[in-house]
Structure 1
Amino acid sequence: MAGTEAASSGRHAIASIYRSHHGWLLNLLSRKLGNMECAADLAHDTFARLIHAGDAASLREPRAYLTTVSTNLTADYFRRQALERAYLEALACLPEPSVPSPEDRALILESLTAISCALDRLPARVRDIFLLSQVDGLPYRDIADEMGITVNMVQKAMAKAYVQCCRVLQR
């Protein structure tokens, strides 16, 4: 019964937080995003994270928690938007026969978003090494010199980044 009581307490805590703070969060996100539909989606995602975390009953400052989670989700949203804009701009520069189908574009955007999120989860130095190699095209020796580390450390960081990207793309 103790597990049932805890689950019930958690549901009541979430319902209470939702009733007390949903409107406030929706207004906050609406001001940040300038779009009520996106704000509603991110507010929903914020509360979904709260439910998934499973510790709503122990929150002493729900608004601080909701602000942190919604800020992170907003950053992800803007990052996805920037990726999509950059991708669409790159597509616009391609000759017509090279333009991928709408289905392929959706898959590519989904993959780019997943890789971006995967890179965000890496330690900053590993991410920087990966970007210097893959975006800037620097050889490992130049990366090592620029960062003041060994080529072996660059190789290990790249392996870690590749593993993270592969995990995301296999889902």
Structure 2
Amino acid sequence: MRLSALQIRARIAYWRSIDRSGLDRERRDIQPARLERLRAAFASMPAPTRDIFAMHRFDDLPYDRIAVRLGIEVDEVEAHIAAALIHLCRALDDNR
């Protein structure tokens, strides 16, 4: 999808208008050990699960677009996302 110059300027204006001070505070509050566990858990996911999770969370692609792009069913995308979230939650579980 190619964006027009007007759409690009609108997106830039939108992103500049967002108050990111809360995000910076949250990033500072993350304990380094928890962050490292999260990174390790993400890296240890099976490649398809990691890729689908990244497409959804980082590229903001909806499930149906991911399914079309990969030639799989939406149910499979949902299963990969669920598996990724479970994997990450278990890695961050402090009761382990």
Report the equivalent of 2:50.
127
Identity across the alignment (%): 32
Report the equivalent of 2:74.
151
Which one scores higher on RCO, CA 8 angstroms, separation ≥ 6? 2
TM-score calculated relative to the size of structure 1: 0.39
TM-score calculated relative to the size of structure 2: 0.65
Taking a change above 3 Å as real, the CA distance of residues 111 and 137 of structure 1, as seen in their structure-2 partners, is: farther
Once the 2 structures are TM-superposed, how far is the Cα of residue 108 of structure 1 from its aligned partner? 5.0
Partner AA of 1:159 in structure 2: A
- 5+ long unaligned stretches in structure 2: 1-18
More helix by share: 1
User: C-alpha distance in 2, partners of 1:108/1:141?
Assistant: 35
Alignment of 1:161 with 2:84, yes or no, is yes
RMSD of Structure 2 on Structure 1 (CA): 2.4
- 5+ long unaligned stretches in structure 1: 1-93
Equivalent residue of 2:87, what SS? helix
Partner AA of 1:100 in structure 2: R
Partner AA of 1:139 in structure 2: P
1:73-130 deviations in whole A, cap 9, x for unaligned? xxxxxxxxxxxxxxxxxxxxx77x64428xx625254433322211111110000000
